[in-house]
Amino acid sequence: MPNEKDQQQSQEEGFEEKKYSFLQETIKSKPMSREQVVKQIIRIALYGVILGVFACLGFFALRPWAQNWFRGNPETVTIPEDEEPAEEQEDVQAAEEETVPTLTAESYEEMLASMNERAAEAGKCVVSVEAVTDEDDWNAQMTGVGNGSSGVITADNGQELLILADNSVCEGAAEWTVTFQDGKSCGAALKKQDKNTGLAMFSIPRTSISESTWSNIKVAALGNSNLVVQGDVVMALGNMFGYPDGMGYGLISSTDYKEAFFDGGCDVLATDIPVSSNGTGFLFNMEGEVIGLILGSVWDDSGNNTANACAISDLKSVIELMANGQSVPYIGIYGTTVTTELKENQGMPAGIYVVDVDPDSPAMAAGIQSGDIICQVSDTDVSSIVTYREAVLETRAGTDVRIRGQRLGAGGYVDVDFTVTVGSKE
């Protein structure tokens, strides 16, 4: 049982708790006035605005860095194949040719205005490519005329804008600048070049191009040059006259001739448009599609002063390889198709007659000689220079391919086999 002392202690503790119980009351804060509430809301909104401004500045400051580090893989560039015209389109074209409108001064002016409008739209894909040198070009600064080569915006792989140009601008240079139609310039890098066809592909990071320039440029549409016929009206844009932004109109004077290079060739679209020595540019049809490349190397020893262009359809496979950073296959044979007449009169087998072999080429290293007739590349039979060219482009630089042919001996043609290590001229 609790003793008397414990009872007394319990009573004293109860008295103390009752005595100071008022100290346990909750003290309520003074209610905020309407003015204080408004000030608090404004303060919070101000903090939010400041935080948002700093977030935006940080985003734009880090955006180029993030795009360079987290941009992923470039998209594969695919050049669309040429399509044959439908019969209905051909009938419409024939009907249009039969209708000859009466030409007046007013209609002539309207026609020129329409052509100028189309040329201006097509010009959005034409650029000027210049090599960067340590020496100041005082003549260019005084006259505004540089030593650049014409280029055309060929593709956009999601990371880079790809520019096709004449490879003459590559000689002795390590850096290049590309000037767009709005006058803005960007640094460019050489992605690939092919000295055999005389083409080069340059790349510009998309992040280097300003928004204002994007609104003034476009990727070119590569047309079907196989549909071009004598008498077609065409536009020439580029450095044909010795300055970068030249423009000219004219007619296709001929489509019957070719330009030869090792392992193939291409059709030539000859025009009546004047051109300066080593002029470069691009030939457009009236739909604004690129149908030809005006290169200074086309018939450079003919002495003519008119623009002649390599047909774009014959170069699409090469352009696609370079746009994807792949080397253009090269064996080193100047050849021509063995015609039916040659087969009948001289008893030659079907295939490609080797006219010449490029010195220090894969073909010469493999033992191919002038006078040989190439009948097969890998597993593909070749009966013309076109099929031979296609077979070579299906190979890859650095790989070994088997080429079968025939060589004239004392007793007639005998079979010969070659193992060729495919190269490239870069």
Q: In whole numbers, what is the pLDDT of the chain averaged over residues?
A: 84
End-to-end CA distance of the chain: 111
Task: Kindly state whether residue 53 falls inside one of the protein's structural domains.
Answer: no
Asked, for residue 383, whether it belongs to a domain, the answer is yes
As a whole number of angstroms, the distance between CA 422 and CA 399 comes to: 6
Q: What is the pLDDT of residues 280-305, one digit of tens each?
A: 999 999 999 999 999 876 766 655 68
Residue 305 structural domain: 225-323
How many separate domains does the chain show? 3
pLDDT at 82: 78
Q: Radius of gyration (Cα) for the chain, nearest Å? A: 37
Note whether residue 169 is domain-resident: yes
Residue 63 falls inside a structural domain: no
Q: Please indicate, yes or no, whether residues 242 and 338 belong to a single structural domain of this protein.
A: no
Domain of 187, CATH number, reads 2.40.10.10
Q: pTM for the whole thing?
A: 0.78
Reduce the DSSP state of residue 139 to 3 states and report it: helix
Same domain for 304 and 348?
no
Specify which residues 382 forms β-bridges with.
Answer: none
Assigned domain for 13 exists? no
Given 323, 341, 374, the domain boundary residue is: 323
CA–CA distance from 173 to each of 131, 176, 177, 203 (Å)? 6, 8, 11, 15
Instruction: Name the residue among 318, 311, 297 with its Cα closest to residue 392.
Output: 318
**pLDDT, greater one: 148 or 144:** 148
Of 154, 187, 214, the position where a domain reaches its end is 214
Quick one: average pLDDT of 360-378? 96
Based on the fold, state whether residues 341 and 303 are members of the same structural domain.
no
- Choose one of 154, 184, 214: the last residue of a domain: 214
Q: Are residue 385 and residue 316 in the same domain, yes or no?
A: no
Query: Which domain CATH number covers 356?
Result: 2.30.42.10
